[in-house]
Amino acid sequence: MTDRLTIRRPDDWHLHLRDGDMLKAVLPETARHFARAIIMPNLVPPVVTGADAADYRDRIMWAKPKNSKFQPLMTLYLTEETEVRDLRAAAEIRLITAVKLYPAGATTNSQSGVRDFRNVMRVLENMAQIGLPLCVHGEVTDAEIDIFDREAVFIETVLDPIRREIPELRVVMEHITTRDGVDYVAGGGDTIGGTITTHHLVINRNHILAGGIKPHYYCLPVAKREEHRLALRAAATGGDPSFFLGTDSAPHTDAAKLQPCGCAGCFTATNTLSILAHVFEEEGALDRLEGFASRHGPAFYKLPVNEDTITLIKGDPVTYPTQIETGDGPVTVFDPGFPLHWRVEE
């Protein structure tokens, strides 16, 4: 049996770092094991211009641990007022790596997102011309659409029409949660990729609702039926380069999670690699973990694979903190619900 695995240092292609005291507290949890991460721009106010991205990058660089080589890959928050000139200028100097599309109201701090997709087509056409990827939160926000169907409806009514109209546009469908999403990405050719989170490989909707509501398992997109979780595991562990790791690690204080209208998000930065090794071992696919975590993402984004490596070791159960203390209050670390025996060798 394998009890030691060395892989290229992984990247996180979907990460929330927040700002201020929260940023200072949670960034080390990612920088410990990951070389790079696509940084989400849904701050308050959001990161909508090149100047905003430069300022936010500076705050991240200032907050990262001493001697850390962690590299934030910045994104812009797409709005119906996004200026093509500003976007192209930021991309030209490699200040930004992608642009993020939030349908207005789809998730945390998405109120400034897109309501009428016709108003952003010129921006998307310019992105296609320069090869700048679009990262999408793939859910419709129509209140008449069941929350468990919103990903599938988004593919049919928004994403596929956009890709048919602008076939050269490179798209990352983030945090896929359904078999529909898996099938669409797998059959979509080389201009589409899909990220899969750690927590969606572990939980289905029963984990949130059965036996009492579990606020720390509540996320958006919400976890779906077991058949969808199994489709995600097959996609992540199957070796298809269309799929790569995007944790969507999203810190909220317990005070924000444990209220009548609690925030959506699972904080997985601390123990993601231990959980992934467990999942891939269960699926008999440890040899494919490097592809999912370290190779497929750079290939899609046309970036080099990291040169250095990390080693995972299997042994006695690993103890992780249940919470990360921040200046804003404690943040609970995602609990997979089973012992973790894989750890990163320090």
Give catalytic residues, as residue numbers. Answer: 248
Report the number of secondary-structure helices (H) and strands (E) in the chain: 13, 13
What gap in Å lies between CA 247 and CA 297, rounded to an integer? 12
Q: The tokens of 336 are what?
A: 């997979």
Q: The tokens of 128 are what?
A: 């296609």
Residue ranges of alpha helices (H) inside 102-225 are 121-130, 150-154, 160-165, 179-186, 205-209
Q: The tokens of 286 are what?
A: 């440890």
What gap in Å lies between CA 118 and CA 243, rounded to an integer? 28
Residue 229, classified by CB atoms within 10 Å of its CB into exposed (0-12), middle (13-18) or buried (19+), is: buried
Burial 190-199 (b: 16+ CB within 10 A, else e): eebbbbbbbb
How does DSSP classify residue 294?
Answer: I
Cα distances (angstroms) measured from residue 328 to each of 15, 88, 219, 234, 266: 19, 36, 20, 38, 17
What gap in Å lies between CA 26 and CA 9, rounded to an integer? 19
Helix %, strand %, coil % of the chain (to 5)? 35, 15, 45
What gap in Å lies between CA 322 and CA 332, rounded to an integer? 6
